[in-house]
Amino acid sequence: MKIGIIREGKNPPDKRVPLSPEICSKLVENYPDVVIIVQPSPIRAFTDSEYEERGFEINEDLSDCDLLMGVKEVPMDMLIPDKKYLFFSHTFKKQPYNRALLRTILDKRIQLIDYEVLTDDRGVRVIGFGRYAGIVGAYNALLAAGKKWGLFNLKPAHDCDGRKEVEEELKKIDLPANFKICMTGAGRVAGGAIEILEQAGIKQVSPQEYLKTEFEYPVYTQLSVEDYNAKKDGTDFAKSEFYEHPERFKSNFMPFASVSDLYIPCHYWDSRAPYIFTRVDAKSPDFKIKVVADISCDIDGPVASTIRASTIAAPLYGYDPITEEEADFMDSNAIGVMAVDNLPCELPKDASHDFGTELLNKVIPELLKSHSDMIKRASETDLTGQLTPHFEYLQGYVDGIE
């Protein structure tokens, strides 16, 4: 197989790569019949010369490649007909802004394999940048807390020379006794966030301890869905029922909001599920949270203070719960918000290496098989210009009637 690593063409530019130079070397060492060609790029976190030094060809022309790999959506004019592509297309949820992209993919008879729907036999996603979203998001949460309370100043993650410098910055953190951090979520994102909280010396406690105890040191708790949701009819919580019928439940987050200083949402949210805290909740005199670092970043959704995404360059804004409008982050009446929606881009080298390692271990072996159920499940389109059976539900979206 001949693999081409494409130049990222989406604006704003993304410095990440699917395969770092080091991972490319490991790939061809493991699979000597694989050839990798790299399209030149002035914006990658890794320079063209770093690939060349490891023996990989730099070439603008990738038309001879069997598989083309990128990270973000490929601009329509850059798509080569009759090829297999692997990238995040952001189409499987019928995102309106990418309808034309999927139409073009079909018109050009491209097989689109989407990272976001690569799953194992149990339906669990096998790859993503979630861990580094959690790592950078939790770091930004602590940066925001230091600023909001005037406790310490952390260097922005994107100004750090990789994760090692981020970890050095964590030594500056000095949070007061009984400073409480609440987190929702249990996947890759939450795992990455926990890495940072643990490295910052913040101790984990159970949800029950968190609600009932005052501590002589800063603590965090990780909430499962049963901790902050309850049945509307008062019957016992059943996790299987919550996932199948979330509309039967209501939020039970306010007890945690009344004792928390900082909230870090790392969850996946279903639009049928209850809001975690509403604009009405945020007005309550019992609502104590003063900083929300919303890694999940569902705009105007389950976390009332997230009224827009923020940017790497300007990650912080304020939400005034009384006026329900944006305010200055440092306003004493405002909830401070961090809602950057492309967090892994702040540490592009580390995030790319982590992502490439997962690709090498979990996806590349499947791509090299003559038939792979995993690749079949993740292919939204085929080389005849048709939606595959798994994604026939997108036909109305493609036709512009949904």
Give per-residue pLDDT as tens, 47-105: 999 999 999 999 999 999 999 999 999 999 999 999 999 999 999 989 999 999 999 99
Residue 334, domain member (yes or no)? yes
Report the distance separating Cα 43 and Cα 281, nearest Å: 43
Q: Same domain, yes or no, for 244 and 352?
A: no
Q: Same domain, yes or no, for 148 and 264?
A: yes
Q: Same domain, yes or no, for 384 and 362?
A: yes
Would you call 48 exposed, middle or buried from its count of C-beta atoms within 10 A (0-12, 13-18, 19+)?
A: middle
Number of domains in the chain: 2
Q: Same domain, yes or no, for 7 and 144?
A: no
Residue 125, domain member (yes or no)? no
Q: How far is CA 8 from the centre of its chain?
A: 18
Percent of the chain with pLDDT over 70: 100
Half-sphere exposure of 175 (CA within 13 A, CB side): 26
Residue 123, domain member (yes or no)? no
Residue 119, domain member (yes or no)? no
Average pLDDT, the chain: 96
Q: Same domain, yes or no, for 152 and 287?
A: yes
Q: Same domain, yes or no, for 97 and 8?
A: yes
Q: Same domain, yes or no, for 227 and 323?
A: yes
Q: What is the pLDDT of residue 13?
A: 84
Q: What is the pLDDT of residue 254?
A: 98
Are 89 and 102 a contacting pair, CB within 8 Å?
Answer: yes
Q: What is the pLDDT of residue 98?
A: 95
Q: Same domain, yes or no, for 134 and 266?
A: yes
Q: Which domain holds residue 380?
A: 2-110+348-399
Q: Same domain, yes or no, for 44 and 176?
A: no
Residue 117, domain member (yes or no)? no
Point out the domain boundary residue: 324, 346, 368: 346
Residue 246, domain member (yes or no)? yes
Q: Same domain, yes or no, for 68 and 160?
A: no
pLDDT tens, position by position, 276-309? 999 999 999 999 999 999 999 999 999 999 999 9
pLDDT tens, position by position, 194-210? 999 999 999 999 999 99
pLDDT-based confidence at residue 11 (cuts at 50, 70, 90): confident
Residue 122, domain member (yes or no)? no
Point out the domain boundary residue: 321, 346, 371: 346
Q: What is the pLDDT of residue 314?
A: 97
Residue 236, domain member (yes or no)? yes
pLDDT-based confidence at residue 402 (cuts at 50, 70, 90): confident
pTM: 0.92
pLDDT tens, position by position, 115-168? 999 999 999 999 999 999 999 999 999 999 999 999 999 999 999 999 999 999
Q: Same domain, yes or no, for 342 and 356?
A: no
pLDDT-based confidence at residue 36 (cuts at 50, 70, 90): very high
Q: What is the CATH number of the domain that holds 19?
A: 3.40.50.720
Q: Is the pLDDT of residue 396 over 90?
A: yes
